[in-house]
Structure 1
Amino acid sequence: MFDDKKIEDIKASVDQWEKNKVEKALAKFPERKEAFVTGSNIEVKRLYTPADIEALDYNEDLGLPGEYPFTRGVQPTMYRGRLWTMRQYAGFATAEESNQRYKYLLEQGQTGLSVAFDLPTQIGYDSDHGLSEGEVGKVGVAIDSLRDMELLFDGIPLDKVSTSMTINAPASVLLAMYIAVAEKQGVSKDKLRGTIQNDILKEYIARGTYIFPPEPSMRLITNIFEYCSKEVPKWNTISISGYHIREAGSTAAQEVAFTLADGIAYVDAAIKAGLDVDDFAPRLSFFFNAHNDLLEEVAKFRAARRIWAKIMKERFKAKSEKSMMLKFHTQTAGSTLTAQQPDNNIIRVTIQTLAAILGGTQSLHTNSKDEALALPTEESVRIALRTQQIVAYESGVTETIDPLAGSYYVESLTSKIEEEAYNYIERIDELGGAPRAIAKGYIQKEIQNSAYKYQMEVESQERIVVGVNKFHIDETDKKDLLKVDPAVEKLQREKLEALRSERNNEEVETTLKVLKEKAETEENLMPFILDAVKAYATLGEICGVLREVFGEYEQSVIL
């Protein structure tokens, strides 16, 4: 991108500058520390010049927005045409209470819904199961049946909103419930817009809400790909998640590498199931974390787009440009929020919001200041939403596309993250792909090592966390925190008891019997799950049938 002679002149100028200026400055004012690094421990040089990006080819490495390799964004006009979807992740207690929170957020200017489910729902148990005790409605909303789903979206027209559901192992069941609710509203499947997370590999890596072993889990995922490509064409069938990988302690490059390695595994599985790459790949989406190191995060998002475009074009021979686009949702980093001085979290979230937007996200959730202590109150979630709105309408960063492009530092860092991520992907390929790398514990151990290093840096004060290991204040107990009423569990049990007495239990048994029979074949299970849902079979009953056929996954301990 630069003339060789000019590059040599720049290098010579930098040498002279270091001798004539920097050495004198250092003698008077030594630098604050011996080594400067990013949040992921990538070395940060004192100065970046065109010499640091001399190998960069504009057309091959950057291109134009909306064109391969999509480094500069997946849409030709980005936020000049349309802002990202402001999608606040929410859900707690009962469907009725969560419905009120969704309506409140929509009134405040949220532009998409994002559903948080409680732990029993995430692992396929009804609220009256013994293992659900003490967890009902705590970290998300309790959904036991289609009846709960009807209440969750009561008064919310599903043809007018886009809905994201953070659900993985039982994703097929919750998607079926959503489709059934829409039909009851008179909305056909082909009108529905939204996303299910549906990413089981990262559950084995970092999060832990799995049910079935990998092989049947991958089958359910490809069943959803196939079903939605024909029946729910506007639906994003998976959100391949790096968020939880980063929350577990990975570096930025590891987050990109392990997420895209999972993506490769899903594409491989779908192709092996007989699907054409260009039939399902345009509906793949991704989910990334936005951390505190502003410029590293911007570089991370740009590198991820470039890598995925190359993987889809060169490895999978995708022909449609839509198959090569890495479209992603971002959530600010929960692991960076502190219980100490929680108001400081507003500033952290603002930096992370800027990182996501400067990096070109399509959708964004901003965490609330009190989430290190409890589920957010209405006031704190409103501040989190206003953070997005102020950046959108007042900061000016949305007025031009990819405003940090051409920065010698950002472009150099983008290439560095790309290089590190490719090295990890190549190693995972050598191990036989992401599922085998997970089974061998390789990915988990890499994350554990990074998390341990970070924690040691915090404890030694090599890395400062304001209010935690420096700049302390005396604090009183936090007040006005949201608390979920323990009576929620009793209420859900009563609702289940009423449901089982009122529904057609013979029809339920028939649909569950058919589902079990079909699970023992190679047929696509989505139509049969939908039949069971419409008969008001519960989540636990449906997952119980699949457990009988598929078994349950048991995690190996990786040290």
Structure 2
Amino acid sequence: MRDLDLDTEEKIKESYQQWEEKVLKPWLSKRPERKQSFSTPSGIEVKRLYTPLDLKGSYAEKIGFPGEYPFTRGIYPTMYRGRLWTIRQYAGFGSAEDTNERFRKLLQAGQTGLSMAFDLPTQLGLDPDHILAFTEVGVVGVSMFHWKEMDIVMSGIPLDKVTTSMTINATAIELLSMYVATAEARGIDKKVLDGTVQNDILKEYIARKNFIYPPEPSMRYAIDLIEYSAKNIPKWYPISISGYHIREAGADAILEVAFTLADGIEYVRKTMERGIPVDEFAPKLSFFFAGYTNIFEEVAKFRAARRMWAKIMKEWFGAKKPESMMLRFHTQTGGAELTAQQPEINIIRTTLQALAAVLGGTQSLHVNSYDEALALPSEKAAKIAIRVQQIIAYESGAADTIDPLAGSYYIEALTDEIEEKAWKIIEKIESMGGMMKAIEKGYPQAEIAESAYRIQKKIESGEMVKVGVNMFYEPDWIGTTEVFRVNPEVRNRVLERLKKYRSERDEIKWRDSLNMLRKAAEKENENLFPYILNAIKAGATVGEISGTLREIWGEYREPSIF
């Protein structure tokens, strides 16, 4: 983006050298800098000063204009001047009634989209009466084992008017089927449903570890959902390719970009192998990134990812539609950056993280509550998190112009450097045969572990400051944080309803639906979504459907790679 003639470039170089000799050196001789070197959390060296000499490429090639290739400045021509990002607080706990009550309060407080958290048994395909599920029912999300539970969660909420995001992966088809069954029971056509299901199984093997089946059948399952949605639920985003969990596992910003886009490449490749043209499904791919506290690195990360994805879709996969090249993403502020010490100051951290996401052009945003290092968010903390977004939207001025940090010599140089480093990692993954092969070799897992170790060492040495932890620590800090706890009676309520659902269903239809699913799973080219949807409508539970697939595919046991 230098766009400088040689004469101008030489003048800047000359002026810079004069400044160093006449201004900087005398100043440093009296007042040395507070550190010998500065770097971003990802280890990128931060220079003392950035000038036009640090910019690379032409304006049109690197930055361009919002709403057009390469989308560095945003995917829409007017960005937040036309419509603000979706305020989407991640929530869910206990039973369906508990979560419905929290959803209603969040909507009343100004949330503009729902984001549903599920408990571990639901994520791992276990019914709440399973021996392994007993202590986890409703603990880190809502227990969702039958489609009528979804109906309770969404009670009083119009499915045809609200967008709903569901953070679910190994049982994603089951949960989306429950949403469809709920809508159809209310007379709502699935074609009008709008929302997102995470369905990103690759990042489970890389970082989060909530997988059930081996990688190959799991990928088939994920692509089945993408294929079915493209044809039958056209407004729905069938996958949210997640860098968030990669970052939270210890990756730095560069690894987050590289591994997330490499996952995206794998999903596109596998979907196209089904014979589906790229422009028929790519406009409904979405992404999910973390927002951390170093504003400038985070903004540069978002801009680099957007530019890289546009190039991947256009040049690698031959996409023609601009919509196929747009990287649409949700951001969640960094949970791993929150501290249990002095928890109230986490509000400051999440505000900076949310601001970075907005300055980086996110389409949807969740702000973590200040008490999440201690427990699930309290109602008060969740409401404050919404207020953080609203203050940024309406008071900060950050939403008044498009890509306000564009043209900053530092931001543009940082965007270029993140992109260059991320490309090298993607090229290495491609040389291994793609992300699935890289996962089998343990490459991304090892890189994340190394990054996490490096960052932790910096925190423990004090090189990376964590206010209230390794600097400005106050053992006698007295806060007012109330710790939220899930009512232990939830389990009994959930188990009673599970028993009731099983007693009321048509046994023949239920058994037939699972038998049909079993036969479909045994075939290689049969899309499983219609069979799982049929089983859900016949009263099958998440555990029963997952159990049927376990019989065919088995369970995955991760090999030791360290």
Identify the residue that residue 548 of structure 1 maps to in structure 2. 551
Residue 343 of structure 1 aligns to a residue in which SS?
Answer: helix
Identify the residue that residue 22 of structure 1 maps to in structure 2. 24
Q: Report Cα offsets for 1:1-46 as digits up to 9, x if no partner.
A: 1222211211121111111111111111111111100121100000
The 5 A counterparts of 1:188-207 are 188-207=189-208
Does residue 1:533 correspond to 2:536, yes or no? yes
Identify the residue that residue 350 of structure 2 maps to in structure 1. 349
Residue 205 of structure 1 aligns to a residue in which SS?
Answer: helix
Amino acid at match of 2:21: K
Amino acid at match of 2:17: D
Post-superposition offset of 1:229: 1.0
Identify the residue that residue 38 of structure 1 maps to in structure 2. 40
Q: Say what the alpha-carbon RMSD is for the aligned residues.
A: 0.9
1:39–1:292 CA contact under 8 A, matched in 2: no
The 5 A counterparts of 1:262-411 are 262-411=263-412
Percent identical residues:
59
Aligned CA distance change for structure 1 residues 545 and 246 (closer, same or farther; 3 Å): same
Identify the residue that residue 486 of structure 2 maps to in structure 1. 484
Amino acid at match of 2:240: S
Q: Report Cα offsets for 1:339-384 as digits up to 9, x if no partner.
A: 0000110000000011000000000000000000000111000000
Amino acid at match of 2:543: G
1:331–1:365 CA contact under 8 A, matched in 2: yes
d(CA) in 2 for partners of 1:105, 1:197: 21
Post-superposition offset of 1:285: 0.2
Post-superposition offset of 1:56: 2.4
Q: Report Cα offsets for 1:465-496 as digits up to 9, x if no partner.
A: 00001101113586521101222122211111
Q: Report Cα offsets for 1:402-449 as digits up to 9, x if no partner.
A: 011000000000000000000000000111110111110111111111
d(CA) in 2 for partners of 1:169, 1:184: 25
Residue 131 of structure 1 aligns to a residue in which SS?
Answer: coil
d(CA) in 2 for partners of 1:21, 1:505: 85
d(CA) in 2 for partners of 1:505, 1:344: 55
d(CA) in 2 for partners of 1:122, 1:225: 19
Identify the residue that residue 135 of structure 2 maps to in structure 1. 134
> In terms of mean alpha carbon deviation, does 171-180 or 484-493 score higher?
484-493
1:261–1:434 CA contact under 8 A, matched in 2: yes
d(CA) in 2 for partners of 1:280, 1:434: 20
2:241–2:287 CA contact under 8 A, matched in 1: yes
The 5 A counterparts of 1:436-451 are 436-451=437-452
Residue 285 of structure 1 aligns to a residue in which SS?
Answer: strand
Identify the residue that residue 509 of structure 2 maps to in structure 1. 507
**Number of aligned residues:** 558
Identify the residue that residue 155 of structure 2 maps to in structure 1. 154
d(CA) in 1 for partners of 2:541, 2:226: 23
Relative to the length of structure 2, the TM-score reads 0.98
d(CA) in 2 for partners of 1:477, 1:50: 47
d(CA) in 2 for partners of 1:280, 1:462: 45
d(CA) in 2 for partners of 1:38, 1:125: 42
Aligned CA distance change for structure 1 residues 124 and 478 (closer, same or farther; 3 Å): farther
Identify the residue that residue 72 of structure 2 maps to in structure 1. 71
4+ aligned runs moved over 6 Å, structure 1? none
Amino acid at match of 1:263: G
Amino acid at match of 1:555: E
The 5 A counterparts of 1:41-120 are 41-53=43-55, 55-120=56-121
1:70–1:325 CA contact under 8 A, matched in 2: yes
1:128–1:492 CA contact under 8 A, matched in 2: no
Aligned CA distance change for structure 1 residues 408 and 399 (closer, same or farther; 3 Å): same
d(CA) in 2 for partners of 1:15, 1:441: 47
d(CA) in 2 for partners of 1:218, 1:271: 13
d(CA) in 1 for partners of 2:397, 2:258: 32
